[in-house]
Structure 1
Amino acid sequence: RWMFYTPEMAEQMVQRREMENSLRDALKKQQFRLVYQPRYGHNSSRIIAVEALIRWDHPELGLLMPDQFISLAEETGLIIPLSDWVLKTACHDAQQSLHGLSVSVNISAVEFQSWGLIDRVRDALQVSQLDPARLEIEITENATLWNPESSLELMLALKKLGVKLLMDDFGTGYSSLSYLRNFPFDGIKLDKSFISDMPESDSANTIVKNIIGLGKAFSLSITAEGVETEGQLQKLMMMECDETQGYLIGKPLSLTALQEQMAALDSAAQERTGQQSQG
């Protein structure tokens, strides 16, 4: 095709190159940090897991969210060392400070094209001494589209390590039903776009109820993402959704803040138990 040159093209290339150099520098200087968003289990009535989410403390641009740099990391190959850092840090934090909780880590589609992922996950588990059953790998269904046969083998190899596999953003891709049948997932995370119109929208309620039923038919745990109102939570509990995640449950927190929140919740629960026993 034909394209007319404009000065903005050169400017965009310069900005991209500068951002790439900044990203390389950030890896060396460890300018990244993790925050953790809680996941609430309704059967146990407590926080049972956290999702590790990366943040970049850029020295000039301030706090950057993943959607501002992950795609660049994927294009430049920097996603591998960046993901390594996330895996090792999340496993270390879970082992040292988040006793009893599972931790989930997002794996990009680019990473899922390499068998090196198996060694990287194994190394993170060995270094941290984390029980593999407490590590959950979140994968979007699109990550497996490049080569379904190879993806299945890779997932089975991950399962042999003892980790769990979650399908992230369920319902936003093209082949969700067949993927549930053919791939060894342990659970699905229902995309927040389905939750946003609940409970006011009858069609949204029906869709979510059917998806929950579908997941249970495949013996999968069901997590609803993006839960922000009490009405949504109550509706999901009526539908027997296993777990919920969202701002109503808890915003992404630093490790210290998460520990403080959990200590406060445990204290409140113990106080309620004491009052009930006295009654």
Structure 2
Amino acid sequence: MLAINLSPRELRQAGLVERVSACLARHGLPATALELEITEGVLLEEVEQCIATMQTLKALGVRFAIDDFGTGYSSLTYLKRLPLDRLKLDRSFVGDLDGEASGLVLVESILVIARKLGLECIAEGVENQAQLDCLLRHGCTLGQGYYFARPMDEAAFEAWLDVQRPAPAGVRLAQDLPPARG
């Protein structure tokens, strides 16, 4: 799975669907291997155009995730209108799992909403075992952050892949994820 951030401006550009299709074909990638990450800012302008473009890309097999969920324009109405596959729980919520009870309430609520809508939830900014344990207890089995790996250059990444450590207990690896829902 290749995840690419897409700005609201890029999502509204004419010809995006054609460019994405051409790029996938040029590199021999199936559309199901691409996940476009958008922010809630996409909901601020030309919403219907954005939804139509997303639906067209989704019909090709492209997956969508809302990045930094909960920090911007969080209209729950759009969660059911947008053709989404995942929510990326913002790191600010995960950071609050180290002791703030109100942080846990918000994380629990977002995870319940995601599950009820059939969306996977990825926790951003996981930095320690306590955060991971809390997320796992509440059913969030996907995460990213310094706990798993620090930022690295290409050479370091290739070396890391060669000795990739197994995922912590209860965490699914990307290659073990079920196919995208229709």
Counterparts of residues 116-135 of structure 1 (less than 5 Å): 116-135=15-34
- The answer on 1:226 being equivalent to 2:139 is no
Unaligned runs of 5+ in 1: 1-101, 270-279
Q: Distance in 2 between matches of 1:153 and 1:126?
A: 22
Structure 1 residues 39-94: Cα deviation after superposition (integer angstroms, max 9, x where no partner): xxxxxxxxxxxxxxxxxxxxxxxxxxxxxxxxxxxxxxxxxxxxxxxxxxxxxxxx
Q: Distance in 2 between matches of 1:268 and 1:103?
A: 19
Asked whether the 8 Å contact 2:43–2:73 carries over to 1, the reply is no
Q: Distance in 2 between matches of 1:242 and 1:268?
A: 10
Structure 1 residues 214-249: Cα deviation after superposition (integer angstroms, max 9, x where no partner): 101000010000111111011101111031011111
Change (3 A) 1:150 1:215: same
Question: How far apart are 1:144 and its partner, in Å?
Answer: 3.0
Aligned equivalent of 1:217, options 116, 121, 138: 116
Asked whether the 8 Å contact 1:107–1:139 carries over to 2, the reply is yes
- The answer on 1:180 being equivalent to 2:79 is yes
- The answer on 1:170 being equivalent to 2:59 is no
Identity rate, percent = 37
Unaligned runs of 5+ in 2: 169-182
Change (3 A) 1:168 1:178: same
Q: Distance in 2 between matches of 1:267 and 1:235?
A: 19
Question: How far apart are 1:192 and its partner, in Å?
Answer: 0.7
Q: Distance in 2 between matches of 1:175 and 1:235?
A: 24
Secondary structure at 2:68 match in 1: strand
- The answer on 1:205 being equivalent to 2:117 is no
Q: Distance in 1 between matches of 2:154 and 2:119?
A: 28
Question: How does the TM-score come out when normalised to structure 2?
Answer: 0.86
Question: How far apart are 1:196 and its partner, in Å?
Answer: 1.1
Secondary structure at 2:73 match in 1: coil
One-letter amino acid of the counterpart of residue 228, structure 1: E
Change (3 A) 1:145 1:221: same
Question: RMSD in angstroms over aligned alpha carbons?
Answer: 1.9
Q: Distance in 2 between matches of 1:170 and 1:206?
A: 15
Question: How far apart are 1:183 and its partner, in Å?
Answer: 0.7
The structure whose Rg is larger is 1
Q: Distance in 2 between matches of 1:268 and 1:223?
A: 15
One-letter amino acid of the counterpart of residue 114, structure 2: G
Compare the two structures and name the one with the higher helix fraction. Answer: 1
One-letter amino acid of the counterpart of residue 111, structure 1: E
Q: Distance in 1 between matches of 2:166 and 2:78?
A: 42
Question: How does the TM-score come out when normalised to structure 1?
Answer: 0.57
Q: Distance in 2 between matches of 1:245 and 1:175?
A: 21
Q: Distance in 1 between matches of 2:37 and 2:119?
A: 14
Q: Distance in 2 between matches of 1:268 and 1:132?
A: 26
Question: How far apart are 1:268 and its partner, in Å?
Answer: 10
Q: Distance in 2 between matches of 1:174 and 1:261?
A: 37
Residue of structure 2 in register with 1:33 after alignment: none
Secondary structure at 2:66 match in 1: strand
